[in-house]
Amino acid sequence: MPRGDGRLSHSLDPVHPGPQDECGVFGVWARGEDVAKLTYFGLYALQHRGQEAAGIAVSDGTGVVVYKDLGLVAQVFDESTLSSLRGHIAVGHARYSTTGASTWENAQPTLRATPPGPDGRSAATTIALAHNGNLVNTSELARKVAELGLHDDETSDTALVTSLLAARPDLSVEAAALELLPTLQGAFSFVFMDEDTLYAARDAHGVRPLVLGRIERGWVVASETAALETVGASFVREVEPGELLSIGEDGLRSSRFASPDPKGCLFEYVYLARPDTTISGRNMYSARVAMGRALSRQLPVEADVVIAVPESGIPAAIGYAEESGIPYRVGLVKNAYVGRTFIQPSQSIRQLGIRLKLNPLREVVRGKRVIMVDDSIVRGNTQRAQVRLLREAGAIAVHVRISSPPVKWPCFYGIDFATRAELIANGLDVEGIRQSVGADSLDYLSLDALVAATEQPKTRLCRACFDGIYPIPLPADDLIGKHVLEGVQRRVEPLAPNGALVRP
């Protein structure tokens, strides 16, 4: 059973309470490898993409099992658990909920078994699926699942997709996927498996990253190249938008289910992806340093020191310092051991706010004019607290510089932003935001400069959170959102005997 009552307590996260992470997916097909441990370390490398739940599915060719729970990867798995997950195929997931509540039932990979074949004799197939992204036709998919008489207690778009994949016993999993994938609207990077084959698929726009790697005895797919390097896999290529990969005993096979129309997420370059990850040939660290350089040129200001909001603001702050000639120093120290927690702070501790995670170095900022570089402002509460900390530490001026444009629109493609009403840039202009956070000056990087730093054509990027132009059409307001499936009464269908769901 899940820990406690299965409910995840949201932690106090004063450093980055705004643009939350999304999800990380990982898959491996390899003979003679400990695929569960490879997946564990792959998920460890992707932990920044999701901290609410983690899970691993494995197959030894005869059955698929899933182990999952709420919590960080290292909290969910231990040596004995991983040793019990044996096979040659594995799929893993690190979750931040973007559709469906943070419950054990919504943890991934999701698991479904097909009914027996139409002849009544062919064996059922078990499917385990992990998803990074967010679908926008979830309500339509839910109707299809209901029409088929399939019910479950999960409230995520991932569960719907898995149910629909398993609903075609007359087709192979690959054929069922090629039929289903073109009907899905939104962003998805799927890694899924049956007893014998590993699959990977990416939506036609390639909104979320997904890469293919090679190890000595097999293949690896992952959300980011950093995860490939962690497990010793060599980068082969990105999974193409609109492509389905099938990996089995006969090697790798590629199929096309949609014409590619690339619209990669621009916010991956700003914040989401690790700095040592490469997307579309562009290293994230180099892109973020370029953002800082451009920011320095935009609105120069006299100052004594450049500091970063750790960790995400560091590359841009380094770029800003290099371009401006103002020295870069560590001015804010983050407590690396204060992560997401199941322990809620008392009211007195909560009032300490940002000090639980971030403290100023007084020796660096006292008596100085400080430029503080961060990647984004969402609600403004974080920057307001940071400016106050720096002034209390003796800074005589605090100039805030943001290495992205104002975030004015929510994301419906896999990032859990605040609602539009909560976005500070939606109600205030730059001067109003400056006054709200208490800075001496404030400047955002322009959209054109941000795009230039990615070295990608503007037309190949999704910029919706900055300019409100959504490349994938959205349904009516009442048919979209994180909790669109909540409140639906469902019953649990038993799994076929060749697929077991192993509960912690």
150 vs 5, which has greater pLDDT?
Answer: 150
What's this model's pTM, rounded to 2 decimal places? Answer: 0.87
User: Which residues are CB-neighbours of 387 under 8 A, at least 6 positions away?
Assistant: 372, 398, 400, 437, 438, 439
Tracing tokens 């996927």 back to the chain, one arrives at 177
Q: What is the pLDDT of residue 52?
A: 87
Mean per-residue pLDDT for 286-313? 96
Distance CA 169, CA 176 (A): 9
The C-alpha R_g of the chain, in whole angstroms, comes to: 23
- Helix (H), strand (E) at residue 5: none
Q: Which two tokens stand for residue 10?
A: 């949201």
Q: Which two tokens stand for residue 296?
A: 């320095």
Distance CA 74, CA 86 (A): 19
Q: Is the pLDDT of residue 482 over 60?
A: no
Distance CA 458, CA 468 (A): 14
Closest CA to 383 of 1, 15, 8: 15
pLDDT band at 475 (very low <50, low <70, confident <90, very high): confident
Distance CA 458, CA 452 (A): 8
Q: Which two tokens stand for residue 301?
A: 């200001």
pLDDT band at 177 (very low <50, low <70, confident <90, very high): very high
- Catalytic site residue from 23, 265, 411, 465: 23
pLDDT band at 493 (very low <50, low <70, confident <90, very high): very low
Closest CA to 70 of 19, 106, 16, 30: 106
Mean of per-residue pLDDT scores for the chain: 86
Question: Strand, helix or coil at 231?
Answer: coil
Q: Which two tokens stand for residue 106?
A: 């919504």
Q: Is the pLDDT of residue 285 over 50?
A: yes
List, for residues 91-107, the tens digit of each pLDDT value: 999 976 544 455 566 78
The CATH number of 278-461 is 3.40.50.2020
Q: Is the pLDDT of residue 188 over 60?
A: yes
Q: Is 462 a catalytic residue?
A: no
Mean per-residue pLDDT for 221-245? 98
Distance CA 1, CA 67 (A): 11
The CATH number of 23-263+484-502 is 3.60.20.10
Domain residue extents for the chain: 23-263+484-502, 278-461
- In this structure, are residues 395 and 335 in contact, taking their beta carbons and an 8 Å threshold? no
pLDDT band at 115 (very low <50, low <70, confident <90, very high): confident
pLDDT band at 343 (very low <50, low <70, confident <90, very high): low
Question: Strand, helix or coil at 329?
Answer: coil
Q: What is the pLDDT of residue 84?
A: 95
Poorest-confidence range of 214-228, 345-359, 365-379? 345-359
160, 161, 163, 166 alpha-carbon torsion, rounded to 10°: 170
Q: Is the pLDDT of residue 186 over 60?
A: yes
Cα separation values, 372 from 133, 288, 293, 311, 354, Å: 31, 15, 14, 13, 16
Q: Is the pLDDT of residue 20 over 70?
A: no
137 vs 150, which has greater pLDDT?
Answer: 137
In the beta sheet, which residues pair with residue 188? 133
Mean per-residue pLDDT for 186-201? 97
pLDDT band at 192 (very low <50, low <70, confident <90, very high): very high
Poorest-confidence range of 38-42, 71-75, 128-132, 228-232? 71-75
Distance CA 266, CA 430 (A): 21
Q: Is the pLDDT of residue 303 over 60?
A: yes
Q: Is the pLDDT of residue 291 over 90?
A: yes
